[in-house]
DNA sequence: GTTGACCTTCCCATCATGGGAAGGTGCAGG
DNA sequence: CCTGCACCTTCCCATGATGGGAAGGTCAAC
């Protein structure tokens, strides 16, 4: 199977398949005499695993861990679950931060009539935004 | 005022101040005889505007628009509000996608006991994840 | 044998940010 | 005056995951 067909079957682009090979996330594909890569069912299986993990937002490095656990028949599901729970927390933290930005901006936007006059509370909020909007330092606080 | 002091006062790192200057987001700072940049109150004001906009998740290009509107005394607040509302939608869309990933993963994780056995529904879900997971919806990268 | 679709490698771009090297400036203490 | 240290300058490189595109080889159908 050529790389294009493997891409279509797995849902991973040809660019990404080559990239994953280059960083060792998948083993080097077999080659035909022509130099073309040749993919078999096991390769597709692995690529599908990777794509589903990416669809769930896992980073490449986390996927590398998951792949190791996948191929380890003596793995403990405790480790897998720990990775998953950590990832869930990170996803929710990022979602929460984005939503917080949206909420803050909406507060500003609600004060703006948008009626065509030059007067604009949104601009004013950015201009002199009260406090330094507690950003960089300690994101802990829960 | 040196760049380090401007950085502390505005909450924008020295690296970022130079970068913003290089891409024309802020005008070239004045220079002393030594070649050191010299920042005045107007520069700090602009840097503070930029930092607050970034804290709200605006991209550099959007900030460029906002800065133009800021300096345009005849601006209409309609435009500003339109940018803000568009941005709110994008933020909430991204937050929603992240939360959806978290929810999907949590569904898998809840099926996993994490009791130390090799059997793991999370790995199984990644391995044979049913549907091709609807590829058309990517996390938006602007 | 030609054509067009596919493959190969290699380099470059993104976006916002930081790291670090090599060298100049400024100031305070001996 | 000299030394040291903290700061400044520019320049290059790296990130993470992805795509674009060029230059050139391969394959299959007509």
Chain B contact probe: residue of A84, A116, A117 with most B CBs at under 10 A: A84
Q: Are B73 and A123 in contact (CB under 8 A)?
A: no
Give the residue from A73, A62, A67 showing the smallest Cα distance to A43. Answer: A67
Q: What does the pLDDT look like over A34-59, one tens digit per residue?
A: 999 999 999 999 999 999 999 999 99
Together in a domain, B69 and B88:
no
Q: Are A120 and B77 in contact (CB under 8 A)?
A: yes
Q: What does the pLDDT look like over B84-104, one tens digit per residue?
A: 999 999 999 999 999 999 999
The single residue listed with the structure tokens 């594909």 is A29
Query: Which residues from B are below 8 Å from A102, CB to CB?
Result: 57, 88, 91-92, 95
Together in a domain, A15 and A41:
yes
Query: Which residues from A are below 8 Å from B100, CB to CB?
Result: none
Contacting residues for A62 by C-beta, under 8 A, at least 6 apart: A53, A83, A87
Q: Is the model's pLDDT at A77 over the cut of 80?
A: yes
Q: How confident is the model at residue A110 (pLDDT cuts 50, 70, 90)?
A: very high
Of the candidates B78, B84, B106, the beta carbon closest to that of A105 is on B84
Within a domain: A43: yes
Within a domain: A138: no
Within a domain: A142: no
Q: What does the pLDDT look like over B112-141, one tens digit per residue?
A: 998 988 889 999 999 886 554 443 333 333
Chain A contact probe: residue of B64, B95, B108, B142 with most A CBs at under 10 A: B95
Within a domain: A3: yes
Q: What is the pTM of this model?
A: 0.87
Q: What does the pLDDT look like over B19-64, one tens digit per residue?
A: 999 999 999 999 999 999 999 999 999 999 999 999 999 999 999 9
Looking at the structure of chain A, the number of domains it has is 2
The dihedral built from the CA positions of residue B19, B24, B25 and B30, taken in this order, carries a sign that is: positive
The single residue listed with the structure tokens 């609600």 is A110
Q: What CATH number is given to the structural domain containing A41?
A: 1.10.1660.10
d(CA B16, CA B18): 5
The pLDDT of A66-80, averaged and rounded, is 92
Together in a domain, A61 and A98:
no
Residue B114 sits in which domain range?
Answer: 83-132
């Amino acid at each position: 199977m050529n790389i294009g067909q493997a891409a279509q079957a797995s849902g991973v682009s040809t660019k990404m398949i080559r990239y994953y090979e280059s960083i060792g996330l998948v083993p080097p594909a077999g080659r035909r005499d022509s130099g073309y890569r040749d993919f078999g069912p096991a390769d597709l299986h692995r690529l599908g695993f990777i794509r589903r993990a990416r669809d769930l937002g896992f980073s490449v490095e986390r996927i590398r861990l998951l792949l190791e656990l996948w191929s380890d028949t003596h793995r403990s599901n405790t480790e897998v679950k720990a990775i998953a729970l950590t990832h869930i927390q990170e996803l929710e933290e990022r979602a929460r931060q984005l939503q917080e930005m949206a909420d803050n901006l909406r507060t500003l936007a609600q004060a703006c009539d948008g009626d065509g006059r030059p007067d604009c509370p949104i601009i004013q909020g950015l201009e002199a935004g009260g406090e330094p909007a507690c950003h960089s330092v300690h994101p802990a606080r829960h």
